[in-house]
Amino acid sequence: MLRWIMGGRGSQGTIEKSAALCIGEEQPKNCFTELQVLKGHFDIVRFLCVHCSVWVFCVTLFQTGERLVELRGHTQQITAMTTYTFIKGERPHTALITASSDRTLSLWDPDSGNRLQTVSDLHSSVKCLLVLDHLDVWLSGGNELCVWNRDFQLKCKTVHHRDAGITAMVDLPKNCVAASMDKEIMIFKLNLSEAEMSILAIHHLADHQDTIRSLININNELFASGSHIGELILWDTVNWTIQAYEHILWEEPAGDGQSEVRIGQQKQSEMSIQHMYSDGELITAAVGSGLYVYNAVMKSIVAYRKVAHDSDILHTELLDNGRVMSCSEDGSIRIWELQDLPLAAEPASTGFFGMFGTFGRSGKQAGAPTKKLLEVPGLRSLELIGDLIGHSGAVQMFVSFGVKGLVTCSADHLLIVWKDGKRESQLRSLALFQKLEQSGGL
Amino acid sequence: MIGSPDVVAFTKDDDFGDSYTDPCLLPAEFSVPLFPHAANANPWTKTSYAKFSKDFILISEFSEQVGPQPLLTIPDDPRVCGTFDLNYFSLRIMSVDYQASFVGHPPGCSYPKLNFVEDSKVVLGDSKEGAFAYVHHLTLYDLEARGFVRPFCMAYISADERKIMQQFQQLSSGFSKASESLKSGNRKAFANELEKKLQDLEYTRTVLHKETELQKMNNGCYSTQVIEKANELANVEKSIYEHKDLLRQIMSYPNKKMDTDYVQYEPEKPVETNMVDHTFSSTHSISRDKCVETDNASQQLSYTPQLIKAKSAKCFDKRLKTLEELCDSNFFHQTMDHLNLIEKTFRGDLCFIYTSQIDWALLSKQKISSFLFEEERHGEEEENSRNLYDTDHNPHIALPSLSNLSGEPMSLESYATCVEIGHHKLELESMEGPPESSTSDITQETSEEAVDTETKGSFSSDRSIEALGNISPANPNGFVRRSTNEVCTVTLSEQQGEILPGAAPDKMSPSLGYKLDVYTADMFETENLVQIDTACCIGQDGFIYEEPLPVPVQQCCEDTVVKQEPLSLLQGDPALQVDYIFGESGLPLGPSMGLMLPEESTSVHSEEMARMNIEDVSDCTSYMSTSTSSDRAGSPFTYGSLITVKQKKKAGNSALRFIRQYPFAQQAIFCVLSGQTLVVLGAEEGTVRKLVNALSIFVPNLGKYGETVQPWLTTSFQLTDLQRWKLIGLQRVASPAGSSMLHSLSRYSRYIGILDCDNKTLRCHPYRGTVLGHMADHRTQIKRGSTYYLHVQSMLTQLAAKAFLYTFCHHVHLPINTDDQGSVELRRTNFLLQLGYTEEESKIIQFLSELIKQNFFQWPLKGLSQSVFSFSYTTSVLYKI
């Protein structure tokens, strides 16, 4: 069977360009040989949220495929949700906070499905939520940043930003929060020393040239942001300086062009960094329909794949076993493996992107000419080892449970649980003998 | 009494075996041509001289106007009966109705009382006609009939005496259900009739009242007319009272019935409706009927009051109600359906019946894997087996009789109590007698009744004589009259030598008296009839008593040539009685229990069997008693669009054509068997449907209604559809809709195999192996579809058995230590390889095994929803012709 090894041979490069990879049906490394479809939603499923192996979805909760609770109450689409664990009566409680376009915030009890708290008199709809466990408060970001305590009491808020809203937030040390707002990253500081809690914008980071699409924490020292035109910036969490700057352009090498589309005419969205994920060392970024793996510690590129999907990648994750998984608007989920290249030199010829590494706050070099990527030692390839086809709409998000399986949600109103068929079969056998034993049959 | 033991003697092979010429006797199910030599063409057919071509069911009535007459036969085809004289035979079977359905005036009340009598079941043989019959007598209520009762009987007539004898329990339970259904309908109809009559009477009363008043006005208080009218009025009043009481009695029947705990499993649909009907009618219908019938009242009340009063007059020229009128029409048709089913069930040779019964019994014990390829069983058989099952596993009913068999008269009484209690419970309650000892009570009761009626000499005097006669032979133990209804009870007593040979004629005499009484006009015939009775009417005891003991199975096995038909379920292989299914209590015992415990259970069962062999009769009794008591429930037949064997056999025909036509049939079958959804793509609906039909016999877990197959789909399908359907017929269309369909085909191509019947191509995972080669050899010599179906079925059963083994061999699946996943995997693969399966065949086994597991987990729920969809990443191959 054909197996496209990315960047392997020059002859395959053309095929790679013409379309996204097609792995075919022979996928020996793909362990997801069993699936279970969960129905229950009547609209696009956009968020998955995990806590303690209970799978919590935007309005419906599932566990082991059974619908547990359905949470109803919001009149419009849900824009953000997060879990919130608080200590109440010496027992930790997990609740679910949801924000919706109907300008309400709600706190749900996932066990009973009750709406515990709700706030409805918001000036704008909330786009992101962040829980600060160590302070026992949570923040909501919209056109203003609000700080709430566990009883849904507004502690303080920032000024109202008329034209731009906060799209993402990350938690920083020293009671600071970084929030992305259009092209800027604002650093807010929570002031807890006074009687009244207050929040203040203490810094602006305006190094991005376009809208920031994604903002994540990498580790204690670094956080990363990605913009619409493919800028990836790593920041220091303490002094907010740029640690690394990458501009991913996905440009084709001039010499290798045969009949490929001119990159110059490409839409910018094809370089947009829609999603990033980090395990503390490696970052995966969904750049257009391509994938990009970056080592945040070494500040070097690890592997990339220009066309990983037929359409934009919406979510990507690093798996425990060194694999990368991505899901896309084309309805498929793909599993990639980081492999050492047989010849280190070859992949460079197929890809072309600018890379700037500058250190220091003033190191921003806007519009720097992209130059051909030099040989990067240790560059590896992303090899497609399997794809999961099942959804008939864009796969919005997925949550991996390691060997237990994978849950994907999609615009086709379905959730699919993918499992390792062999493992499940063995588990069922074990359960079978357990049941026999219980009934005294053994 | 039916004790005459002469019938077995009639059936010796040497007398009549040579004259066997009638090939029509062959059951339809046997396609093997008979050995041309007439003598022992069918080694088990002992009778060959019957005048009818195959078994049939006859319903006759003892009409009070014309005497015994046949009403209908099932199947309703004159060819079946041939030259067989139905009139003569009805006469004979009706003449053995010795039961007393007795309506009289019990002591202490002056109005008639209905007795809810049990049906009687006898076996009767006619050596000259070569006919043997299981005869089931029942009485139905008819307001216009003599004593309100009309005796009927249903008879299963066969040329094979052994069939009747061996299948007695099954026949009995089947007919009991039919009878119960008839009787329920009859009670309903009778109640309706009574209500109408009551209204008539009440109307009459008002009319009479008015007339009396008028006459009083005109003629003064003491004129003769007025007195006459007053008498009439009094008569009507009495009549109303009596009818009300009858109505109350008939209404109270089902409630009492529900009280008995002897109904072992829930009575199913008909009884429910019956219940509803009754409760409804008892609460509402009177008032409702009144409302409704006020309109009709004028028509109904066209009777003159005298006519109503003349109810007890014997009216020979009046038209008697037909059976359908007597019973509610719904119930009647239900019963007919049931009888048809009985006819079908017992059609064919005894050997065939045995085999299929054993087959079913085994299957029902293998529910854990039989769902894969076996079609759902019909309610009838299921219940039969359940009855057997119950008796197998509820020794508390069987045991008293067994232990009592060492038996003294003492134990007989207790036994009788045991057997009778269920039947008499009803009567006990209606009689308000202390229920401490049913036998004595009832004996007393009945004789009191008899004496009472005799002295009173009311309108049902002839009946009372009969009842008295039945008792007068002085059952030595105070043996109850009713218990003679149970043939087996008689058997028991005969075993113990309680009933002497003289007992039988003794018992016959009352019925002689009865018949004489009825047929004073036709003395000669009655005389004749009685002779026949004593000669040919036999109870089951006669047969069983002289029946050679069943040969244990082991002996059978020693012979290489099978000379005997398989043992029936009851006597049969103890292994059959080991249950491979989850426990009755809902707690799963687990199938491996069946595997692990054969020693234990065999020992129990072999012991039981030994007893059975010695005291065959007694066991019979226990079976009887349970089955009759549990069979009180009406017939529970509902016909859905079940997938039947017949349909599957037809599908076998198309399957045969398919494997001959397509060289890649094996691959297609592999696709279906390994759980990969097969899409049959084609433009023409007929072709696609035919192919789907052909392939459906290979679909594991087809479902009761074939719900895992979608024979014709015109829209594109989704992933969930693939999960649900394992075989899809898809329309190929050249339109935008078609393109979306092709899109889904290509999108999900890894999960499906595509059989394109227009281009004759198949795209699916490749198969390598030999198993399916045997199953679908395109050079097969098999000519007939049904034969091919059976061939396939046997191979599929083998696969299922292997899957069962694979699933429940725990050394294969259990990890030796905690982090042992790898070795488990290896052991699983090796296990299947050792079974001789290739990698692809292992996939089939694994898929079947997963189904078994799922079925096991979902056990209490009916049906298997495939919640998990498994697949594998293997390259598909395109096959062309």
The structural domains of chain B, with segments of one domain joined by +, span 462-775
- Report the pLDDT value the prediction gives residue B670, as an integer from 0 to 100: 92
Q: How much is the pTM? A: 0.62
The CA distance from B694 to B652, in Å, is 6
Of B719, B810, B873, the CB nearest to A28: B873
Chain B residues within an 8 Å CB radius of A433 = 810, 813-814
Distances (CA, A) of B624 to A277, B121, B240: 75, 11, 41
pLDDT at B132 over 70: yes
* Nearest chain A CA: its distance from B855 CA (Å): 11
Contact yes or no for B725/B678 (Cβ under 8 A)? no
CB pair distance less than 8 Å for B588 and A435: yes
B chain contacts of residue A26, beta-carbon cutoff 8 Å: 873-875
pLDDT at B866: 56
With a cut of 50, list the residues of chain A below it in pLDDT.
Answer: 1-19, 49-65, 252-269, 344-374
Q: Which site among B587, B719, B858 would you substitute to test the A interface, given the most A Cβ atoms closer than 10 Å to its Cβ?
A: B719
Question: What distance in Å separates residue A397's CA from the closest CA in chain B?
Answer: 19
Determine, for residues A435 and B590 on separate chains, whether the beta-carbon distance falls below 8 Å: yes
Among A1, A27, A439, the residue with its CB nearest the CB of B587 is: A439
Contact B201, B240 (CB under 8 A): yes
Cα of B772 to nearest chain A Cα, Å: 24
- Identify which of A8, A16, A1 has the alpha carbon closest to the alpha carbon of residue A340: A8
B594 to chain A, minimum CA–CA distance in Å?
A: 9
Asked if B27 is an interface residue toward chain A (Cβ–Cβ < 8 A), one would say: no
The architecture (CATH level 2) of B462-775 comes to 3-Layer(aba) Sandwich (3.40)
Q: What digits encode the pLDDT tens for the residues B475-492?
A: 444 333 333 333 333 333
Kindly determine whether residue B825 and residue A422, on different chains, have CB atoms separated by under 8 Å: yes
Residue with the bigger pLDDT between A145 and B415: it is A145
Cβ–Cβ below 8 Å for B807 and A414: no
pLDDT digit string, tens, across residues B646-663: 788 888 888 999 988 888
Q: Which positions in chain A touch B856 (Cβ < 8 Å)?
A: 432, 435
Say yes or no for a CB contact (<8 Å) between B750 and A1: no
Whether A413 and chain B come into contact, CB under 8 Å, resolves to no
Please give the full DSSP string across A259-279, using - where no structure is assigned: SPPPGGGS-GGGG-EEEEEES
Q: Which of A357-361, A387-391, B604-608, B627-631 is predicted with the least confidence, judged by mean pLDDT?
A: B627-631
Contact yes or no for B477/B442 (Cβ under 8 A)? no
pLDDT of B742 > 70? The answer is yes
Cα angle A259, A263, A265; round to 5: 105
Report pLDDT for B149.
83
Cα distances (angstroms) measured from residue B103 to each of B110, B112, B463, B610, B697: 12, 6, 7, 45, 57
Instruction: Tell whether B817 lies on the interface with A, counting CB pairs under 8 A.
Output: no
Answer whether B856 sits within 8 Å of A435, measured CB to CB. Answer: yes
Q: Does A310 touch chain B (CB under 8 A)?
A: no
Closest Cα to residue A153, out of A140, A172, A143, A141? A140
- Interface touch B750/A442, C-beta < 8 Å: no
**B683-691: average pLDDT:** 90
State the Cα–Cα distance between residues B86 and B71, nearest whole angstrom: 9
Contact A86, A104 (CB under 8 A): no
Residue B574 structure tokens? 């103890």
Q: How far is residue A127 from each of residues A104, A179, A206, B141, measured CA to CA in Å?
A: 11, 11, 21, 80
Rounded distance between C-alpha atoms, residue A381 and residue A369, angstroms = 26
Number of separate helices (H) and strands (E) present in chain A: 3, 33
Residue B820: which pLDDT band, with cuts at 50, 70 and 90?
Answer: low
Residue of A425, A427, A434, A435 for testing the chain B interface, max B β-carbons within 10 Å: A425
Check whether B466 has a pLDDT greater than 70: no
**Residue B299 CB neighbour total at 10 angstroms:** 8
- Average pLDDT in the B289-294 region? 38
Q: State whether residue B299 sits within 8 Å of chain A by CB.
A: no
Residue B265: pLDDT band with limits 50, 70, 90: very low
- At A436 the pLDDT is 84
pLDDT of B173-203, one tens digit each? 999 989 888 888 888 888 888 888 888 888 8
- H or E stretch at A303: strand A300-305
pLDDT value, residue B569: 53
Own/partner long-range contacts of B492-499 (Cβ < 8 Å, ≥24 apart): B492/B401, B492/B412, B492/B415, B492/B617, B492/B618, B492/B621, B493/B412, B494/B3, B494/B541, B494/B545, B495/B405, B495/B541, B495/B545, B495/B615, B495/B617, B495/B618, B496/B407, B496/B409, B496/B412, B498/B409, B498/B412, B499/B1, B499/B3
How does the average pLDDT of chain B come out, rounded?
A: 64
DSSP reduced 3-state for A317: strand
Instruction: Report yes or no: A371 at the B interface, CB cutoff 8 Å.
Output: no
- Torsion, Cα B47 B49 B50 B54, to 10 degrees, reads 60
Whether B382 has a pLDDT exceeding 70, the answer reads no
With an 8 Å Cβ cutoff, is B869 touching chain A? Answer: yes
Residues of B in contact with A39 (CB under 8 A): 720
- Beta strand pairing call for B67-74 and B56-63: antiparallel
Pairwise CA distance, residues A347 & A379, whole Å:
8
Looking at the complex, report in whole angstroms how far the Cα of residue A36 sits from the nearest Cα belonging to chain B. Answer: 5
Report the pLDDT value the prediction gives residue B23, as an integer from 0 to 100. 54
Reply yes or no on whether the pLDDT at B29 is more than 80: no
Mean pLDDT lowest for which of B23-32, B125-134, B151-160, B282-291?
B282-291
- Compute how many other C-beta atoms are within 10 angstroms of the C-beta atom of residue B432: 8
Evaluate if residue B36 carries a pLDDT over 80. no
